């Protein structure tokens, strides 16, 4: 129940803040360059929105151990890129129609989802790799050459994000109990993470 309330609050805040920010954007522009709210929605829709695919995955896993989301959202590069290109061309056409019709387009704005784009309006794109990570990665590029056929994109990681793919599996506590028994019945340990307390059972 609480998660539903959280979702509802979040949705309300998203909608409200999006509308206010959009209105403010309009007021910041000179009067001759101000756009109508519909035009602004089109413009926002054309901005890249890298977080959309991840948001779908997260939402799905909130509610279920695993999901069939992967079948709904194509996983291959070709399909995804194709979909994006289709989306862009659709938006471009409707905006052109809008200009030609001098503001009389009907319903085109409903074909895009500006809400998530509104959140990111004043945020810089998140940096992807830290300088230390970039530096360290230079020592591992041979892995790409030898073992990686094709880079896995973020939107292809739905299956990797499933709990069953985590090292501890769908019931992580079982590993903890088992580890406790093994360290008390055998003389060796290590390789399963460093967190944890000591035990006289050793």
Partner 1 sequence: MNKKIKISLLSCTAIGSGLAHAEQVLSLHQMQYQEDDDRIKVADTSLALKLDFGVDYSLDLSLGYDSVTGASPTWQIANSGQISANEALFRQNELEQGQAMTEETLLGYAHDVSQYQIQRVPLEDTRKSAAAALTIRDVYRNEWVLGLAHSEEDDYKSSSVSASYLLFLDKGKNRSVNIGFAYLNDKTLVFGTGYQSRTEEKIQVINFETGLTQVLSPTSVFDVKLFFNHDNGYLSNHYLTILRGIDINEDDVITDDEYFLASDSRPDVRNGFGTKLSYSTQFWPWLTGQFSYRYYQDSWSINSHTASASLSFEIFDGVFITPEYIRYQQGQAEFYLNPNVKEPYFTASGDGSNDTRLGDFSADTYGLIISYQVTSDWQLDLAVNRYQQSNQFAASWAVMGVNYRF
Q: Binders of partner 1 among 124-183, rule CB under 8 A? A: 126-130, 132-134, 136-137, 140, 143, 147-149, 151-154, 156-160, 162, 164-165, 167, 169-171, 173-174, 176-178, 180-182
Helix (H) or strand (E) holding 156: none
- Cα distances from 95 to residues 50, 57, 64, 101, 119, in angstroms, run 22, 30, 39, 10, 22
CA dihedral for 107, 96, 112, 120, sign (positive or negative): negative
Tell which positions 92-111 bind partner 1, by CB under 8 A: none
* Choices 35-43, 54-62, 79-87, 106-114; region in contact with partner 1 by CB under 8 A: 54-62
Q: Count of alpha carbons within 13 Å of 8, Cβ hemisphere only?
A: 5
Is 145 within 8 Å of 151 (Cβ atoms)? no
Query: Between residues 32 and 151, which has the closer beta carbon with respect to partner 1?
Result: 151
Residues numbered 68 to 87 that lie near partner 1 (CB under 8 A) are 68, 70, 75
Task: Please state, in angstroms and rounded to a whole number, the distance separating the CA atoms of residues 22 and 9.
Answer: 20
How many residues line the site for partner 1 (CB under 8 A)? 87
CB 192 within 8 A of CB 176: no
Structure tokens at 120: 């990111």
Kindly list the distances between the CA atom of residue 147 and the CA atoms of 136, 137, 151, in Å, as whole numbers in the listed order.
18, 15, 11
Residue with smaller CB distance to partner 1, 36 or 166: 166
Of 13, 29, 93, 96, which one interacts with partner 1 (CB under 8 A)? 13
Under the binding rule (CB under 8 A), the answer on residue 7 touching partner 1 is yes
Single residue of 64, 74, 98, 106 touching partner 1 by CB under 8 A: 64
Minimum CB separation of residue 100 from partner 1 in Å reads 33
Please report how close the Cβ of residue 46 comes to partner 1 at its closest, in angstroms: 21
Query: Measured from the CB atom, is 14 or 43 closer to partner 1?
Result: 14
């Amino acid at each position: 129940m609480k998660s539903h309330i959280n979702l509802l609050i979040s949705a309300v805040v998203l909608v409200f803040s999006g509308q206010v920010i959009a209105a403010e954007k309009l007021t910041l522009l000179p009067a001759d360059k101000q756009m109508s709210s519909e035009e602004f929605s089109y413009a926002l829709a054309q901005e890249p929105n890298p977080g959309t695919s991840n948001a779908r995955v997260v939402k799905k896993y909130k509610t279920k151990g695993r999901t069939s989301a992967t079948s709904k959202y194509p996983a291959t590069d070709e399909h995804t890129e194709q979909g994006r290109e289709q989306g862009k061309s659709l938006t471009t056409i409707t905006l052109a129609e809008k200009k030609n019709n001098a503001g009389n387009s009907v319903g085109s704005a409903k074909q895009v989802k500006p809400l998530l784009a509104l959140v990111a309006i004043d945020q810089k794109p998140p940096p992807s790799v830290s300088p230390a990570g970039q530096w360290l990665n230079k020592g591992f590029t041979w892995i790409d050459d030898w073992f990686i056929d094709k880079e896995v994109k973020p939107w292809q990681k739905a299956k990797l994000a499933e709990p069953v793919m985590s090292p501890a599996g769908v019931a992580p506590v079982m590993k903890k109990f088992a580890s406790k028994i093994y360290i008390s019945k055998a003389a060796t340990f290590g390789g399963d993470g460093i967190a944890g307390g000591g035990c006289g059972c050793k």
